[in-house]
Chains A and B, each alone.
Chain A
């Protein structure tokens, strides 16, 4: 989990570095040799990355979804790490508001799946709130089993469908 956070921070550093990489490169050259240099490694040639605060950047840096075990709504270590990344990104862009959509696989009854998917969305929301994201920025929506992303009838498909998806609904850059 810690590794994930560090990776994310590095990614955020990378993002901020991109915008001023030219200046930094110039400064490094001007100061000449310095034996105790702790400067970060020079950024790789900057590709045309996603706009800061955009949906594309959110998807690249944090990812929009977490997955659940059958009939469960508790967050695995992997899911918590993914939500940590979402929380960090959302903290960096405080204008962004989101809706967390909860989903279930097809192997349950409809009413229960609606309730279960609501519980999953609430679990993700509560985690983000615990990580400092204001409750007023997060709505939840339960879809039950009505909107699968994988249409197969096998464990691989069901595992993709048991999900909570964080959808940016406002305040993001395009």
Chain B
């Protein structure tokens, strides 16, 4: 019963399953997230109970973060706290289901905070099915007090998973390019933040053009483009040390980098004499091998989650289309055949879909298709939408959108793969090139 997992060596977050008052029954509270425009599930998330002022403030903050995560997913609707008829203290003992039924809360979260003598925070929560009057889930976490936001995201992920049956995506980060200044003289800075825009910080100082950051699977490094020493090249950036390292010894421009799922390789494009080809570099040996060999532009490679295949774009057939090949460059197959240009393919972490940018008749679309090219669905269109990146659970896409005109405003947006729940992602200024991290493990 006391299964304690070392959650993260850095954050020293521990989790324990809590015993249920009654055994977990078949859940009646359930969301089928494949269904598209679902009616959001009404969920009540009171402030977590804490005895001291500090504990109750933390309890309020944690409940707010959980609620924000769940509501932003588009699958939940928060029941107004002003309507609650049971206080957090008595709720921590036992919910009075009748009073929660009256305000139409279908799911209820109760929680308790205590700050230990060593300063660590203990967070306990339970998820209840209000109408069945049943316990659905209970866990206790112990964490450093400065990581309370992460605890809240972990709780939100657990609730999301219990109710949808799918992994969540809230305990994750976004790295992107922050842009400032006029359109013809932009300053570019790498920036990183939590998926809910909290803990925002800049990684570079704006002295060089930086583009296309991508997380390593372990989230400790990113690969990106830096226009440094008068050449655009792929660099590795260590998020812990902030050290930058040139990748490879290519005699020319390298760009569009991405890690392999095992983190041992980086695929990227190498341009020489106007010809762009895709290369794979082994990070242990630093040896590179060429995967494509065509006079056209071959670029934007992305691995399948098993690492066996690489999807990329090429204009070898005349205009940009999407192709798939083995990770060694063999067995190339074109998968997109629609009108217009298909670009920036990204393989879903679930493996079931490939997201892309499509340009057709002056409009920019974000869409998805199966890895064999069938089932194309366009989710977003407009003047300029580009560069989708997948949430860790493969249910949400983030991309960037630029406005027409002299200002060229650029912001991040997310949308469910069902085509619903488009949201602007808050950033301090203009933003582009988002990359979603894997879930923290």
Are A and B genuine complex partners?
A: yes
Write the residues of chain A forming the contact surface with B, with a CB cutoff of 8 angstroms. Answer: 71, 73, 106-112, 114-116, 118-123, 126, 140-142, 146-153
Asked if B184 and A111 sit within 8 Å, CB to CB, the answer is: no
* B185 closest partner in A (C-beta): A147
Contact in complex: A147, B383 (CB < 8 Å): no
New A-B contacts (20) at CB < 8 Å, excluding given A142-B253, A150-B184: A73-B274, A106-B402, A106-B408, A109-B341, A109-B386, A111-B212, A111-B300, A111-B344, A112-B343, A114-B232, A114-B271, A115-B255, A115-B269, A115-B276, A118-B274, A119-B275, A126-B274, A148-B184, A151-B183, A153-B404
B378 CB → nearest A CB, Å: 16
- B406 interfacial contact with A, CB 8 Å: yes
Chain A residues near B188: list those with CB within 8 A.
Answer: 146
Contact check, A114 vs B255: say whether CB atoms are below 8 A apart. yes
Give chain B residues whose Cβ lies under 8 Å from the Cβ of A126.
Answer: 274
Q: Contacts of B212 on A, CB cut-off 8 Å? A: 110-111
Contact A148 B183 (CB under 8 A): yes
A153 to B403, CA, bound (A): 9
Q: Mark B204-218, 1 if CB is under 8 A from A, else 0.
A: 000001011000000
For chain B residues 238-271, which have a beta carbon within 8 Å of chain A? 253, 255-256, 269, 271
> CB distance B404 to A109 under 8 Å?
no
Q: A146-B186, A147-B184 are known contacts. Are A110 and B433 too (CB-CB below 8 A)?
A: yes
Contact A107 B362 (CB under 8 A): yes
Closest to B209 in A: A146
List chain B residues, Cβ under 8 A from A109.
300, 320, 341, 343-344, 357, 359, 386-387
Q: Which residues of A contact B271 (CB under 8 A)?
A: 114-115, 118, 142
Mask: chain B, 324-362; 1 = CB below 8 Å from A; 0 = not: 000000000000000001011000000000000101001
CA distance A31 to B182 in the complex (A): 63
Which of B185, B231, B313, B383 meets A112, CB within 8 Å? B313
Tell me if B405 is interfacial: C-beta within 8 Å of chain A: yes
Which of A111, A148, A149, A150 contacts B343 (CB under 8 A)? A111
- B356 (CB) vs chain A CBs: closest residue: A109
Nearest CB to that of A119 among chain B residues? B274
* Contact present for A118 and B276 (CB under 8 Å): yes
The interface centre, meaning the residue of A106, A126, A142 with most chain B CB atoms within 10 A of its CB, is A142
Contacts of A147 in B (CB 8 A): 184-185
Give the 6 A-B CB pairs with smallest separation, nearest first: A122-B274, A115-B276, A109-B343, A153-B404, A119-B274, A115-B297
Residue of chain B at shortest CB distance from A146: B209
Looking across the interface, which residue of chain A has its beta carbon closest to that of B343? A109
Q: Are A115 and B299 in contact (CB under 8 A)?
A: yes
B299 touches A111 (CB 8 A): yes
Min Cβ gap A142→B in Å is 6
Contact A118/B408 with A108-B359, A111-B212 known, Cβ cut-off 8 Å: no
Q: How far is the CB of A157 from chain B (nearest CB, A)?
A: 9
Are A112 and B405 in contact, CB atoms less than 8 angstroms apart?
no
Within 8 Å by CB of A153, from B343, B359, B383, lies B383
Choose among A111, A112, A121 the residue that contacts B274 (Cβ–Cβ < 8 A): A121
B 66-81 binary contact with A (CB < 8 Å = 1; else 0): 0000000000000000
Measured in the bound complex, the distance between the Cα atoms of B341 and A147 in whole Å is 23
Whole-angstrom distance between the Cβ of B364 and the nearest chain A Cβ: 8
Say whether B230 faces chain A, with CB atoms less than 8 Å apart: yes
Q: Does B140 contact A (CB under 8 A)?
A: no
The chain A residue with its CB closest to the CB of B230 is A141
Contacts of B344 in A (CB 8 A): 109, 111
Set of chain B residues within 8 Å of A108, measured between Cβ atoms: 341, 343, 359
The smallest beta-carbon distance between B387 and chain A, in angstroms, is 7
Quick one: CB contact mask for B403-425 with A, threshold 8 Å, 1 for yes?
A: 01110100000000000000000
A112:B183 contact, CB within 8 angstroms:
no
| Closest chain B residue, CB of each to CB of A139 | B230
17 contacts between A and B (CB under 8 A): A73-B274, A108-B359, A109-B300, A111-B212, A111-B313, A112-B300, A112-B320, A112-B343, A114-B256, A116-B297, A118-B271, A118-B274, A119-B297, A142-B271, A151-B405, A152-B406, A153-B408
Cβ–Cβ < 8 Å partners of A150 in chain B:
184
Q: Are B274's CB and A110's CB within 8 A?
A: no
* Cβ of B278 to closest chain A Cβ, rounded Å: 11
**Is the C-beta of B135 less than 8 angstroms from some C-beta in chain A?**
no
Q: Residue B297 contacts which of A112, A151, A152 (CB distance < 8 angstroms)?
A: A112
A146 vs B183: C-alpha distance when bound (angstroms): 9
Give the residues in chain B near A140, CB-CB below 8 Å. 274
Mark contacts of B55-66 with chain A using CB atoms, 8 A cut-off: 1 yes-contact digit, 0 otherwise.
000000000000
Chain A residues with CB under 8 Å of B182's CB are 151
Which of A73, A107, A111, A151 is close to B408, meaning CB atoms less than 8 Å apart?
A151
A142, B232: Cβ atoms under 8 Å?
A: yes
How far is it, in angstroms, between the C-alpha of A142 and the C-alpha of B256 when the chains are bound? 14
The yes or no answer to B273 lying at the interface (CB within 8 A) is yes
CA of A71 to CA of B230 in the docked complex: distance in angstroms?
25
